[in-house]
Amino acid sequence: MNAFQYLAQNWPEVSQKVVQHLEIVGIAVAGSLVIGLLLGILVSRPRLQTIGRVIIAMTGIAQSIPSIAVIALIFIYTGIGPRTAIIALTAYGIVPILFNVSSSMLMVPSDMREAARGMGMTPLQVLMRVELPVAAQSIMSGVRTTVTVDVSTATVASVVGAGGIGDIIFVGLSVVRPDMIIAGTLLVAFIAVVSDLLLALLQKSVVSRGLSTSS
Amino acid sequence: MIELDAVTKRYDGKTAVNELTLTVPDSAVMILLGPSGCGKTTTLKMINRLIEPTSGDIRIDGRSVFAMDPIELRRSIGYVIQETGLFPHYTVEGNIGVVPTLLGWDKARIRRRAAELLELVNLEPSVYLKRYPRELSGGERQRVGVARALAADPRILLMDEPFGAIDPINRRILQDFFLRLQSELKRTVVFVTHDIGEAVKLGDCIAIMREGHLVQVDDTHTLMEHPADAFVEDLLGSTRSTEQLLYYRAAHYADPDFTVMSPEELQAGRAHTDASIIILKDGDHIMGYVEKGQMISCDNIQGEACRLETVSANATLLEAVTILLQSGRKRAVVQDPDGTILGTISISMVAEVLGKVAR
Ligand SMILES: Nc1ncnc2c1ncn2[C@@H]1O[C@H](COP(=O)(O)OP(=O)(O)OP(=O)(O)O)[C@@H](O)[C@H]1O
Ligand SMILES: [Mg+2]
């Protein structure tokens, strides 16, 4: 049997795994986005900028921690089930978003902030109308990285009983069925490519044309 | 009217502005002039409370700004800064609409206002409304910056070296444009610069600062005639040099001995030779000039050959000389921002002024 035959014959079960996978990734990305965005905004405030730079340096180190280590560590506290995967992926996915948000916000020229204040914007208006839109390109890149990483890492989370497409691959591994392993891999790759494509479109629509470097 | 009353700003130990007292009358352009680091920007930003002074009071029309909500205060004051002032993610329309949006104007009204202001600053609305700042030249950006500051019709404008990053030729054009605008709008303006020529050209009054202190504040002529001390004299460059030409406005030296004629009148032979003649077509297009006592020929009245450059009445003599040299002609017409012809100016007249200086 080849991978496509496997997918066709087991579609009800496979689609259930795909839904599980998307759920884990979706919740984790949303969590990372909220936390990463809030933290990133916080550490880019003038008074906290020194902390901000330290955090940016630390995210570099955090990025080199293997995802499986994070999953294993969380597993010790939360045990079997999707909860462990979601918490681990959320924590892991904060890193690229936090890095991009804080570094791009710190790069917004202080003159521009001051012009905004000088025209009578409240601090919240400066954030919403100037800082975030100007940093949007980089923030969206961070989100895309997190989504791509989460889609593939969620596969590994099958080992803590989270479900998802990883189940297909790991079962394939234990019963030596290359078709299952390939089918699972293809699904993960497909989801990663499609979601990144959609996010690229979203990025284009949220980033002002005035900021793009081309044309 | 803006009053600064013994305003002081200290940054841990270092005094940026020291006991500064200054009154800016209504509809006047007050220049803050002085060397780098003397506290010009700090003074300006205290007026719209971007910087809070350590002590002292600032009043607008008698009301202390510290009794006002800083956000509302800033929305009521136009603010123009150098280069990075425009928001790159907004179109020209969006940029001009920043304060009106904050004030809750509706979209249609903002668009009308933006178009109106673009016309005021000589940019065609249909071309520029939808452009982004990166699609504008430096000079165009600066014009949009001024238009944006005027959007909600503020009575006060604060300008911090608005033309500082522009090349000399375009800076001159923007300065002329600012003068024309100001003669029409009559706002109360505080204008920071460290270009003496710009100060003389644009200012009704010049406040000279040094290390946080106000050294002297006077109108240009008084400043020239009676500099308070050696520092002011030095700053104004009163060492005898061509810089001297920076202190005199072309208007003071325009030769008013002329008559205006249309080309038709000239051709009809109604020229008198006892005054020089400025040939004006359709009432506002300067075609040429006939020297006193000169023969009138077709050359006098036809074509590019006899086109005269114009010098703004507020221009300095140095600027007038530059224009004369660039145009390659002996004479230029001195014109008010509103178009009134004040007279003509020539290289030999400028030389005469220099001769007096050298004595
Ligand atoms: N936030 C700050 N902290 C400490 N010192 C400051 C701060 N802002 C300004 N200063 C100091 O206050 C002085 C006045 O600065 P200011 O920006 O008003 O100068 P300026 O006259 O505008 O100079 P320039 O022509 O170079 O723009 C300078 O010596 C500057 O170093
Ligand atoms: Mg300054």
Q: Is the beta carbon of B38 within 6 A of some atom in ligand 1?
A: yes
Residue B16 Cα to ligand 1 middle (Å):
6
- How do residues B196-245 score in pLDDT, each as one tens digit? 888 888 999 999 999 999 999 998 778 877 888 888 887 776 545 566 67
Asked if B84 and B226 sit in the same domain, the reply is yes
CA distances from B69 to A129, B44, B116, B153 (A): 21, 18, 29, 19
Ligand nearest to the CA of A46: 1
Bridge-based pairing state of the strands B331-335 and B310-312: parallel
Q: Which residues of A touch B79 (CB under 8 A)?
A: 115, 118-119
The domain that contains A52 carries what CATH number? 1.10.3720.10
pLDDT band at residue B265, thresholds of 50, 70 and 90?
A: confident
CB-CB neighbors (< 8 A) of B102 in chain A? 119-121, 125
Greatest C-alpha distance within chain A: 69
Contact B287, B307 (CB under 8 A): yes
Residue type, A118: G
What is the rounded average pLDDT of the residues B249-275?
A: 74
What number of C-beta contacts closer than 8 Å exist between A and B? Answer: 66
Q: What is the pLDDT of residues B51-82, one digit of tens each?
A: 999 999 999 999 999 999 999 999 999 999 87
Q: Is the CB of B18 under 6 A from ligand 1?
A: no
Confidence of residue A191 (pLDDT cuts 50, 70, 90): very high
Residue A26 belongs to domain spanning? 3-206
Question: Within an 8 Å CB–CB cutoff, is residue A120 touching chain B?
Answer: yes
Token pair in block for residue B293? 């006592």
> Considering chain B, what percentage of its residues have pLDDT values greater than 70?
90
| Residue A54 forms contact with B (CB below 8 Å) | no
Same domain assignment for residues B220 and B268: no
The reply to whether B244 falls in a domain is no
Select from B47, B89, B135, B192 the residue whose CB has the most chain A CBs within 10 Å, as the one to mutate to test that interface.
B89
In terms of domains, do B207 and B79 share one?
yes
Considering the domain architecture, whether residues B141 and B225 belong to the same structural domain is answered as yes
Q: Are residues B211 and B348 in the same domain?
A: no
Shortest CB distance from B71 goes to which of A111, A112, A122? A122
**CA-CA distance, B243 to A145, in Å (whole number)?**
60
Single-letter residue type at A2: N
Would you give the distance in Å from CA B115 to the centre of its chain?
23
Q: B71, A130: Cβ pair inside 8 Å?
A: no
Q: Inter-chain contact B89–A210, Cβ cutoff 8 Å? A: yes
Q: How many domains does chain B have?
A: 2
What are the tokens at A70? 């994070």
Residue B127 resides in a domain: yes
Domain that holds residue B272: 251-358
Same-domain pairing of B231 and B269: no
Q: Is residue A213 part of a domain?
A: no
Q: Quick check: is B246 in a domain?
A: no
ipTM, interface predicted TM-score of the complex: 0.87
Ligand 1, atom 10, residue with closest C-alpha: B16
Query: Looking at the domain assignment, is residue B340 inside a domain?
Result: yes
Count of domains forming chain A: 1
CATH of residue B275's domain is 3.10.580.10
Please check whether residue A64 lies inside any domain of the structure: yes
The verdict on residue A166 lying in a domain is yes
Q: How far is CA B340 from CA B17, B108, B202, B251, B288, in A?
A: 42, 37, 18, 11, 16
Query: Domain of B228: which CATH number?
Result: 3.40.50.300
Cβ neighbours for B128, distance < 8 A, ≥ 6 positions apart: B92, B118, B136, B140, B144
- The answer to whether the pTM exceeds 0.90 is no
On the question of pLDDT at B303 being above 60, the answer is no
Q: What would the pLDDT profile of B124-144 be if each residue is shown by its tens digit? A: 999 999 999 999 998 899 899
